[in-house]
Amino acid sequence: MKMIDSTATTHAVLTSPPQPAKPTPSRPPISDDAQDLICFSHLRWNFVYQRPQHLLSRATESYRVWFLEEPVYDDGEPRLTQCKQANRLTVVVPHLPHGTNSDQARQLQKELLDTFMVSQQIDNFVAWYYTPMALLFSDHLKPKLTVYDCMDELSAFWGAPPQLLDQEKKLMQRAGVVFTGGYSLYEAKQHRHPNIFAFPSSIDFAHFATARQPKPDQRTIASPSIGFSGVIDERFDYQLLGEMASRRPDWQFVLIGPIVKIDHNMLPKGPNVHYLGMKAYNDLPYYFSNWDVAMMPFALNDSTRFISPTKTPEYLAAGLPVVSTPIRDVVRTYGSEDFVQVVNSPDAFIKAIELALAKKHPQNWSAIDAFLKKNSWNNTWHEMHRIMQMSVTSYQ
């Protein structure tokens, strides 16, 4: 596998994860008798359906999966609630009293976790982390394998805890294997762990391809319709959206997803800008089928430097032309193959949408579909699990 030169101006497409520069084959393989997988997540299961849900739903093939969320604060005694989401997958939520300080919260979560593990007879297990902050109450655990699935550079997001980088350093030391959510993130962290692999966003092709099927026109919004689906936060370029909406009042801009961490008043408003809120994952193909073009107007800042947007393959699987700002992992994986138009100004964005509306881009859907089918979430999980089985538990 040829690694991408980060200084190159043109990029090759990588369809399989880069291998670690210095593997450690002398270590013994992990025992395959782990029965459970405990995931420590900063994201809610019933928030936007993305990487954790795709991977851990598939992990139920091999484990009982326990998805442990961050605590909620309410009245009553400290407790854990459980909600079964699917066969062998349960969401676990700590409830802590209002007024609990950070030290108390850490101790209470540790006690609740220990009691929970005893009650569920969890002994042989994998610890899977999305947030290094969870080490504050789980660093005493002795899993068969510790996995750090680093899907984002969380330290670059607004409101990141000041101790996050220190906790990530500790997690990297404990982890037997590290996965990253994209190639740029892999390159940034590859020298910090000997057993690290890049697994960028994959696709449930069959799910989103239903948007391509002919159906009666069910639009409630006029066309042409340019859509976005995802979290609207500090990564979203609201100024770019506002510029396009004002210059093309004949285009309808449709946005699906929650608005978080930013002032709603900052977002552009007008008769051709439509905020529909968050929609269920199962309903997304229906909404996509009513769009003419999909957009990814990401701001270029610290919070987007390492992202690998899940929505890129989802849009393409739905048969939608895609226009994006120059997010690095989009450029190297999709832009270099001319699957996605990548532009860097409002003028260029508008021209690219015009090209897409005229059916002049993309031109090679068969190549796009072949790429997407090869990069399924099923393939990604099975390769991750193969690596896990060959990895080792590492502790300090």
Residue 22 lies in a domain: no
Q: Where are the alpha helices (DSSP H) in the chain?
A: 51-59, 102-119, 135-138, 164-174, 183-189, 205-209, 238-247, 284-288, 311-317, 328-330, 346-357, 365-374, 377-389
- State whether 351 and 222 are in the same domain: yes
Q: What distance in Å separates the CA atoms of residue 357 and residue 281, rounded to the nearest whole number?
A: 26
For residue 93, give the CATH number of its domain.
Answer: 3.40.50.2000
- State whether 238 and 195 are in the same domain: no
Query: Which tokens in the block code for residue 155?
Result: 């330290």
Q: What is the pLDDT along the chain (396 residues), one digit of tens a residue?
A: 222 222 222 222 333 334 433 333 333 344 456 799 999 999 999 998 999 999 999 999 999 999 999 999 999 999 999 999 999 999 999 999 999 999 999 999 999 999 999 999 999 999 999 999 999 999 999 999 999 999 888 776 667 678 888 999 999 999 999 999 999 999 989 999 999 999 998 999 999 999 998 766 667 888 999 999 999 999 999 999 999 999 999 999 999 999 998 888 999 999 999 999 999 999 999 999 999 999 999 999 888 988 899 999 999 999 999 999 999 999 999 988 999 999 999 999 999 999 999 999 999 999 999 999 999 999 999 999 999 998 854 433
Task: Answer for the pair 226, 254: CB distance below 8 angstroms, yes or no.
Answer: yes
- Assign 86 to helix, strand or coil: strand
Residue 10 lies in a domain: no
Task: Answer for the pair 72, 87: CB distance below 8 angstroms, yes or no.
Answer: no
* CA distance to 190, 194, 234, per residue, from 267 (Å): 37, 43, 11
pLDDT tens for 301-336 read 888 988 899 999 999 999 999 999 999 999 999 988
Residues 6+ apart with CB under 8 A from 352: 323, 341, 343, 361
Q: What distance in Å separates the CA atoms of residue 213 and residue 319, rounded to the nearest whole number?
A: 10
Task: Answer for the pair 235, 301: CB distance below 8 angstroms, yes or no.
Answer: yes
- State whether 198 and 89 are in the same domain: yes
Residue 298 lies in a domain: yes
- State whether 194 and 126 are in the same domain: yes
365: left (phi over 0), alpha (psi -120 to 50) or beta: alpha
Nearest CA-CA partner of 134 in 147, 125, 144, 121: 147
Residue 167 lies in a domain: yes
- State whether 359 and 227 are in the same domain: yes
Residue 152 lies in a domain: yes
- State whether 55 and 177 are in the same domain: yes
305: DSSP letter: T
pLDDT tens for 47-99 read 989 999 999 999 999 999 999 999 999 999 999 999 999 999 999 999 999 99
* CA distance to 27, 107, 265, per residue, from 257 (Å): 45, 35, 16
Domain that holds residue 107: 36-202+376-389
Do strands 79-86 and 341-342 pair parallel, antiparallel, or not at all (unpaired)?
Answer: unpaired
Task: Answer for the pair 164, 154: CB distance below 8 angstroms, yes or no.
Answer: yes
Query: Which tokens in the block code for residue 318?
Result: 């739905």
| Structural domains of the chain, count | 2
Residue 21 lies in a domain: no
302: DSSP letter: G
**Full-model pTM:** 0.86
- State whether 89 and 210 are in the same domain: no
pLDDT score, position 163? 84
- State whether 366 and 380 are in the same domain: no
**Residues in the chain, how many?**
396
Q: What distance in Å separates the CA atoms of residue 337 and residue 368, rounded to the nearest whole number?
A: 9
Residue 13 lies in a domain: no
Residues 6+ apart with CB under 8 A from 19: 1, 197
Look up residue 78 and give its amino acid: P
Q: What distance in Å separates the CA atoms of residue 377 and residue 388, rounded to the nearest whole number?
A: 16
- State whether 254 and 171 are in the same domain: no
Residue 300 lies in a domain: yes
335: DSSP letter: I
- State whether 195 and 63 are in the same domain: yes
275 burial via Cβ count (<10 Å: 0-12, 13-18, 19+): middle
- State whether 218 and 198 are in the same domain: no
- State whether 105 and 133 are in the same domain: yes
Nearest CA-CA partner of 199 in 146, 149, 129, 132: 149
Prior bond to 224 cis, omega within 30? yes
Q: What distance in Å separates the CA atoms of residue 219 and residue 278, rounded to the nearest whole number?
A: 18
